[in-house]
Amino acid sequence: MNSAIELSGVSWRAGKSFELKDISLNVPVGSIYGFLGPNGSGKTTTIRTFMGMLKPDRGEISVLGHTVPKDMKRILARIGYVPERPHVYPALTVAEQVKVHASFFENWDPGWSAELMARLSVDPSRKISRMSKGETGKLLLLLALSQRPDLLVLDEPTDGLDPVVRRDVLSAVLDYVSERSATVFISSHLVHELERICDWVGVMDQGRLVAELPMQRFKNGIKRLRIADAPEATDAAPFTLLSRRRDNGAGSLETWIVRDWEPPMRHYFDGVGATVRDVIDLDLEEGFVELLRSSRPQHTNGS
């Protein structure tokens, strides 16, 4: 098994308001896969399809080598899941919630659960209704990790948390991955937060997967180029041109945003009579924004 999660041609429509459009993604076993996209882009809906909560209109899904939805019982026994909205009982204390959750999982590790409770500073006697958002976030992660999962699915796990709690949550995830070689699928709209922990990234926008690639390629392969005497046609270019614009008052200079750039590609411009004046690195958030901008339909103002 090379893929922890694999979706092939998955589509799903919610009336006329939203749809997933032909989603095909692959999460390698043992990877930390960052699932990026603006709010409302379809990240949570995609998660619900491979967690068996939504039935796609078409397409195929496998998780941990099993078919969704046919083998969901075996799949869910091996997944730790932190949903976008808490799934705990406000009337219970932390210790009572842990006991309830543990009863559903054969692989529950009580010793590990107690260790996590201490590490994350979660008070077992505290009533859930009196917990802050940060305390609840740490409890949800504790519940997911105490199952000793092979796959950890985190849907916006640090949204709204303060920086200290975010650091604690992400540190616990990294420690677990290091110890167990588990796979992590983490959804977020916070680009910089995922930059330092993920080795793969998928980018969603408007119900479509617009990019999927190793994080290093994402970070290093999107560039801003300044080109003199740029060619009109770019069909033979060895990179993907995301956007181009003529620099006002700069003669023949244009600014291009390109994807999948590598230094030897400068030779392409020599062959078409153009000159690369500058190759400028973009930070991860700039690259993310450019990917989204290039994937969206361009509307022309007719006035």
Which of the two residues, 195 and 230, has the higher pLDDT score? 230
Q: Which domain holds residue 150?
A: 3-217
Q: Is residue 287 part of a domain?
A: no
180-189: per-residue pLDDT in tens?
889 999 998 8
Q: Which of 202, 217, 232 is the last residue of a domain?
A: 217
Percent of the chain scoring above 70 in pLDDT: 96
Q: What is the pLDDT of residue 183?
A: 96
Q: What does pLDDT average to over the chain?
A: 90
91-115 tens-digit pLDDT: 999 999 999 999 999 889 999 999 9
Instruction: Give domain status of residue 293, yes or no.
Output: no
Domain match, 213 and 130 both: yes
Residue 154 pLDDT > 90, yes or no?
Answer: yes
Q: State whether 86 and 182 are in the same domain.
A: yes
Boundary of a domain, candidates 217, 240, 258: 217
Q: Are residues 264 and 183 in the same domain?
A: no
Report how many domains make up the chain: 2
Return contacts of 10-19, CB within 8 angstroms, 24+ apart: 10/46, 10/49, 10/56, 10/58, 10/59, 10/60, 10/61, 11/56, 11/57, 11/58, 11/59, 12/45, 12/49, 12/54, 12/55, 12/56, 12/57, 13/57, 14/45, 18/42, 18/45, 18/207, 19/207
CATH number for the domain spanning 51: value is 3.40.50.300
137 plus 247 within the same structural domain: no
288 part of a folded domain: no
Instruction: Note the pLDDT of residue 300.
Output: 42
Q: Is residue 65 predicted with pLDDT exceeding 90?
A: yes
Q: Is the pLDDT of residue 250 over 90?
A: no
Do 212 and 249 sit in the same domain of this protein? no
Boundary (domain end) residue, out of 200, 217, 234 = 217
Residue 302 has pLDDT above 50, yes or no: no
User: What's the rounded mean pLDDT across residues 119-145?
Assistant: 93
Domain shared by 61 and 131, yes or no: yes
Q: Specify the pLDDT at position 296.
A: 77
Return the higher-pLDDT residue of 73 and 15: 73
CA distance 237 to 269: 9
Q: Are residues 142 and 256 in the same domain?
A: no
Q: Are residues 208 and 230 in the same domain?
A: no
Q: State whether 181 and 245 are in the same domain.
A: no
pLDDT given at position 150: 95
